[in-house]
A = this chain, B = another copy of it.
Amino acid sequence: MHRKPAVTDRIRREKNRRTGEILQAALKVMLEKSYTGATMDDIAAGAGITKPTIYQYFRTKDELFAALIEPLIISLADKLDAIRTAVESEKYKSGKKIIRDVYNVYYDTFESDPDLFRLFVIFQQVGMNAGMSGVAVEKIREIGGKCFIAGQSIVSAAVARGLFRKVDVPHTTDFVWGSFWGIVQVEQNKWGRDGISPYLKPVLKFGENLLIAALVQD
């Protein structure tokens, strides 16, 4: 059947709008009740529809969850990749600045939407041990991998250009990523469900200075 282009357009807009409504409701409910506690019926009710309609837009609860945090992790990957490019094209004069920038990327990503970031943490925690699957979930994992590779490339390039001491690249990358991740979790758990721990920034800063002392030759 042929359809008028104007109509096709409107339909696509409506679909996007509904997708947005679902995501918005999902975010709200999941923030309130955490992933496990948020039921699909809750989310549907929040969006003013019924459960099966959600399944018209998202294949599973996991994929809905993944779609929610996708923009955040994409932005993270992009920012890290930008630093990588800058290091590789010799834009940086000091290793210190690289480390500061990397930590700022982490922190900015967190600060720009702490609620969403909290969901991101939950996604990693739940996803890793409750065997999630599905297209969207794989996508997130893939982008996560990109973050990791960007991190490795940054360290590797910085070492090659003499901006960092001759450290072991995988160990350093694992340490940076792992410590950031762990600190965020610890602060979040200590602080509870609402708001940002006021300690997060200073503790990350502490780690940043530690790394600078260890990695940068003066």
Contacts and interface: CB of A to CB of B under 8 A. Distances in A.
A52 interface: no
Given A182-B185, A186-B181, A202-B168, A207 B175 contact: yes
Interface stretch (A3-11, A97-105, A126-134, A156-164): A126-134
Contact of A125 (B128, B186, B199, B209): B128
Interface string A200-218: 0011001101110110000
A160 to B, nearest CB: 19
A149 interface: no
A180 interface: yes
Interface stretch (A17-25, A29-37, A53-61, A80-88): A29-37
Contacts of A172: 206
A37 B181 contact: no
Nearest to A167: B206
Contacts of A122: 129
Nearest to A172: B206
A131 B35 CA distance: 10
A178 interface: yes
A183 interface: yes
A170 interface: yes
A90 interface: no
A128 B124 CA distance: 13
A187 interface: yes
A10 B36 CA distance: 42
17 contacts: A34-B129, A35-B130, A122-B129, A128-B185, A168-B202, A170-B199, A174-B183, A174-B186, A175-B179, A175-B183, A175-B210, A178-B184, A178-B186, A178-B187, A179-B183, A181-B185, A210-B213
